[in-house]
Structure 1
Amino acid sequence: MGLRLRSGLSFCVAENRAIFLDLARDRYFALRADEERAFLDFAMAGGTTDGADICPSLARLVSAGLLVEGDLEGGGAGGIVPVIAEPVCRDFVGRDDAVLSRRAVALALVCQLRAGLAVRGRPLGALVRRVRGVPLRGGGERVPFGNIVAAHRRADLWFSVHDRCLAKSVALFRALRRNGTDARLVFGVSARPFAAHCWVQLGDRVLSCPLDQARLFTPILVA
């Protein structure tokens, strides 16, 4: 039979640990050592079994509802695969010293205030659904995306730097998408010690935080 991850679950392998994000239950978690070994071996084998050879550790994951029977996502072998994002190789270089209009900075400030309210107390699953619903604008006159990034960096100065990666990234992501820039919102984790972070990425370029910071985390969800 084929097994796949339950809908709403994603995982990555960070520092040789399988870390999961459960959007439905709004939590990150890891498995017991024996379950982790069984899960990773099963995933590397292509996510299929004849049912008779399923080990007790893997059976517990099925009983817990983490793995369910069904068509393998993506089709064929490798139905249970970690999240893959384009590797980040470059910082955004550019317009921190640019002459920005007061209006551009004010718009960025309003975007960040709205994003701060949107993420406060909202389950991550609901936030991700809302973010994925932001349309990518097509046609019309566009602002150079570097100007938008620079305006948001300038707006950052009005806020505390503590624990703001989600709000600032959501704000910048929305602004870029509405401008027609096909950016991605990336959630990442580190395993030892556990930590979570998110950033905005365009191709291999990090837009919302330093490159060295993003490289500390392994992507677990891409919106």
Structure 2
Amino acid sequence: MSYHLPSHVSFGFVGGGAVLLDIEADRYLMLRGAEAGALAALGTSGAPRSGADPALDRLTARGLLAKGPGAAVLPISVPAPTASALELAGKAERASALEIGRYRAGASLRLRFQGIGATVARWRALKARHLRGRADRATDPGAMARGYAAARVQLPWRRLCVPDSLALARFLWKRDVDCDVLFGVRIDPFAAHAWVQKGELLLSDNINAVADYTPVFRL
């Protein structure tokens, strides 16, 4: 019997266990012991190393795994950021506060009225549409991120990591920058954060703002 991750579930190994994000249910789950071990053992093959495993049955019953072929049961893997565009010296591309405000308001309204699952689905479609055949034509994503940050301070809304990350990503995707929105967690005490990153370059935060977080979701 093989297993795969449902499309709405992703995870990372954190603090001796596995933290799963069920994006449709908008919930994080911490797995330890047998369940975390069973998840790790699936690896790239998607099949347990031995016969029936009660831990896999429990995960399947909870909708966190699915039987049959599909997405590999692997943790989110991205390089740790080594620099932040907001901390590097350099020019800032001019950005419109009106455009940024439109993206930020759109993200907030979708999150409020449609939830995180539907919002992520919408942003996935936007990413595919904006980057189809055009990704990485931009020469300086750092300058664009700095321009966004300079214009963002003109808006009246307080910073919230999820809608702000979604707005920044949409702004960059429209300019052919192939970047990712990452959701990460830390343990003891538990906290979650979202940020935007391209390769090893952080585009939305200072380095120390994300240093303690392990990615568990990638958009």
TMscore range, shorter length:
0.7 to 0.9
Identify the residue that residue 48 of structure 1 maps to in structure 2. Answer: 47
**2:4–2:66 CA contact under 8 A, matched in 1:** yes
Q: Distance in 2 between matches of 1:191 and 1:176?
A: 31
Identity %: 28
Gaps of 5+ in 1: 74-78
Change over 3 Å in CA distance of 1:180–1:29 after alignment to 2: same
Amino acid at match of 1:222: R
Superposition CA RMSD, Å: 2.8
Asked if residue 10 in structure 1 is aligned to residue 10 in structure 2, the reply is yes
Identify the residue that residue 122 of structure 2 maps to in structure 1. Answer: 130
Identify the residue that residue 36 of structure 2 maps to in structure 1. Answer: 36
Return the offset for 1:67: 2.3
Residue pairs, 1:145-184, within 5 angstroms: 145-157=141-153, 158-159=155-156, 161=158, 164-184=160-180
Identify the residue that residue 81 of structure 2 maps to in structure 1. Answer: 88
**2:184–2:193 CA contact under 8 A, matched in 1:** yes
**1:190–1:217 CA contact under 8 A, matched in 2:** yes
Change over 3 Å in CA distance of 1:144–1:12 after alignment to 2: closer
- Say which SS state the counterpart of residue 120 (structure 1) adopts: helix
- Say which SS state the counterpart of residue 133 (structure 1) adopts: helix
Return the offset for 1:95: 5.0
Change over 3 Å in CA distance of 1:144–1:204 after alignment to 2: closer
Asked if residue 66 in structure 1 is aligned to residue 60 in structure 2, the reply is no
Identify the residue that residue 184 of structure 2 maps to in structure 1. Answer: 188
Identify the residue that residue 112 of structure 2 maps to in structure 1. Answer: 120
**Greater Cα offset, 191-200 or 108-117:** 108-117
TM-score scaled by structure 1? Answer: 0.80
Amino acid at match of 1:25: A
Pick one of 196, 213, 217 that aligns with 1:217. Answer: 213
Pick one of 97, 100, 111 that aligns with 1:105. Answer: 97
Change over 3 Å in CA distance of 1:44–1:143 after alignment to 2: closer
Q: Distance in 2 between matches of 1:6 and 1:185?
A: 19
How many residues are aligned here? 211
TM-score scaled by structure 2? Answer: 0.81
**2:39–2:73 CA contact under 8 A, matched in 1:** no
- Say which SS state the counterpart of residue 7 (structure 2) adopts: coil
Q: Distance in 1 between matches of 2:102 and 2:53?
A: 53
Return the offset for 1:213: 1.3
Change over 3 Å in CA distance of 1:144–1:85 after alignment to 2: closer
Return the offset for 1:70: 0.8
Return the offset for 1:68: 2.2
